C-alpha cells in the first residue's frame, strides 16, 4: 500500500523506527571505536571532508549536529570556534561525546526535537548520515526551520540513492539494513528508509527550504560519488496571497 506524507505511520513503520534506535543503542560502543580509529574508508577519503566543506561554505557562528553519534563533527566545529551543539537519541553516544573535545551535547531524539526539546537557533543544522527513518525524519524536517537563524541552512549528507539501491526499484521505501563498509563488531542491522533524489528535494522544499547546492563528492579510487549532500537555505515564510481586488 502506498504511504503518503501526512498519513499516520502503520504499525510496521513505527516498529522500523524503533529498530533503528535499538540498533544504535546496541552498537554505540562499536560505532565509537570505528569512528575514533578512523576505520571507515569512505569517511577517511571523502565524506568527512565533504561535510566540513559544506559547513564552511555557510560560514556559520553556530551549528546543530543532528544525530551526532560519538560527536566527532561537533568536536571539530567547536574546535574552530563555532558554538556547536550535538544531539543524539542514544545515551551511550552522548556520554562518549562528552568525554572528549569541545562542544555541547544534549540527549534528544528527533521526535523530542520535533516536540520542542531545543529552544535555540543556529546558523546551520547538519545531519551527517543520520537520517535513517521515515516519519521521524519528516517530523524533524518540519521542526528545523524554527531552529535556524533567518539566513540559516540545513545540510544533509547521506548515501547516494542512485548507487545504494542495489537490485531494488528506484523508489522510496523501507529497505533491509547493512553494515557493509563498516569494519567492527556490527550485526543485525536495522531497516532504513530509502529516498530517491527527487524525494529528498521534495522534503526540503515542502518544509520551506530552497536547495542552494547538491554535491556528489567522488571517491578518489572508484570515481563514483561516495555520498550526496544537500544544502537547503531557509526561506522566509511566503507572503500571504494578495487579497482579492475590490471591484
Ligand atoms: C551513522 S550514525 C552517524 C553519526 C554522526 N552523524 C557521524 O557522522 O558520525 C547515525 C546516528 O543517527 C542517530 N539517530 C538515528 N535515528 C535517530 C533519531 N530518531 N533521533 C536521534 N538520533 C538518531 C544514531 O543514534 C546515530 O548516532
Domains of the chain: 11-234 (3.40.50.150)
207 Cα–ligand 1 center, Å: 21
What cell numbers appear for 26 in the block? 546496541
DSSP annotation of 218 reads B
Q: Which atom of ligand 1 is nearest to the CA of 110?
A: 20
> Residue 244: phi, psi to the nearest 5?
-60, 140
Query: 4: which residues sit within 8 A by CB, 6+ positions away?
Result: none
Q: What is the largest CA-CA distance in the chain?
A: 73
Distance of alpha carbon 89 from alpha carbon 91, whole angstroms:
6
Residue 128 β-bridge partners:
157
Ligand 1 and 129: CB distance under 6 A? yes
Distance separating alpha carbons of residues 32 and 190, to the nearest angstrom:
18
Ligand 1 proximity of 156 Cβ (cutoff 6 Å): no
> Residue 65 Cα, ligand 1 centroid: separation in angstroms?
10
- Residue 51 near residue 157, CB atoms below 8 Å: yes
User: What atom of ligand 1 comes closest to residue 89's alpha carbon?
Assistant: 21
CA of 243 to the centre of ligand 1 (A): 45
**Contact (Cβ atoms closer than 8 angstroms) between residue 70 and residue 36:** yes
CB of 62 shorter than 6 A to ligand 1: no
Expressed in angstroms and rounded, the spacing between residue 247 Cα and the centre of ligand 1 is 57
Contacts of the segment 34-37: beta carbons below 8 A, 24+ positions apart: 34/182, 34/183, 34/184, 35/69, 35/70, 35/72, 36/70, 36/72
Nearest CA to ligand 1 atom 27: 69
Task: Return d(Cα 43, Cα 201) in angstroms, integer.
Answer: 24
pLDDT in tens, the chain (247 residues): 455 655 667 888 889 999 999 999 999 999 999 999 999 999 999 999 999 999 999 999 999 999 999 999 999 999 999 999 999 999 999 999 999 989 999 999 999 999 999 999 999 999 999 999 999 999 999 999 999 999 999 999 999 999 988 889 999 999 998 888 888 888 888 999 999 999 999 999 999 999 999 999 999 999 999 999 999 999 966 556 667 666 6
What is the model's pLDDT at position 237? 64
Q: Could you tell me the distance, in angstroms and rounded to a whole number, from the CA of residue 234 to the centre of ligand 1? A: 23
The span from the CA of 188 to the CA of 22, in Å, is: 11
Look up the pTM and report it: 0.93
* C-alpha separations of 61 from 54, 56, 153, 191, 202 in Å: 14, 10, 12, 35, 28
Atom of ligand 1 nearest to the CA of 72: 9
Amino acid at each position: 500500500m502506498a504511504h503518503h506524507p501526512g498519513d499516520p505511520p502503520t504499525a510496521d513503520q513505527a516498529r522500523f523506527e524503533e529498530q533503528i534506535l535499538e540498533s544504535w543503542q546496541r552498537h554505540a560502543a562499536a560505532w565509537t571505536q570505528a569512528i575514533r580509529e578512523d576505520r571507515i574508508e569512505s569517511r577517511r577519503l571523502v565524506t568527512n571532508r565533504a561535510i566540513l566543506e559544506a559547513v564552511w561554505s555557510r560560514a556559520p557562528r553556530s551549528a546543530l549536529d543532528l544525530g551526532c553519534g560519538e560527536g566527532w563533527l561537533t568536536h571539530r566545529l567547536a574546535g574552530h570556534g563555532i558554538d556547536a551543539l550535538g544531539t543524539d537519541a542514544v545515551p551511550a553516544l552522548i556520554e562518549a561525546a562528552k568525554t572528549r573535545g569541545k562542544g555541547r551535547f544534549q540527549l534528544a531524539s528527533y521526535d523530542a526535537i520535533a516536540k520542542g526539546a531545543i529552544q535555540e537557533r543556529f546558523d546551520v543544522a547538519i545531519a551527517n548520515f543520520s537520517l535513517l527513518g521515515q516519519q521521524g525524519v519528516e517530523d524533524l524536517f518540519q521542526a528545523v526551520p524554527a531552529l535556524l537563524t533567518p539566513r540559516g541552512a540545513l545540510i544533509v549528507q547521506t548515501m547516494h540513492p542512485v548507487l545504494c539501491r542495489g537490485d531494488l526499484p528506484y523508489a522510496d521505501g523501507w529497505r533491509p539494513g547493512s553494515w557493509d563498509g563498516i569494519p567492527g563488531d556490527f550485526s543485525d542491522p536495522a531497516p532504513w528508509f530509502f529516498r530517491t533524489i527527487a524525494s529528498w528535494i521534495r522534503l526540503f522544499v515542502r518544509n520551506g527550504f530552497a536547495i542552494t547546492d547538491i554535491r556528489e563528492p567522488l571517491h578518489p579510487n572508484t570515481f563514483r560519488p561516495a555520498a550526496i549532500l544537500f544544502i537547503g537555505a531557509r526561506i522566509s515564510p511566503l507572503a500571504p496571497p494578495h487579497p482579492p481586488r475590490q471591484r
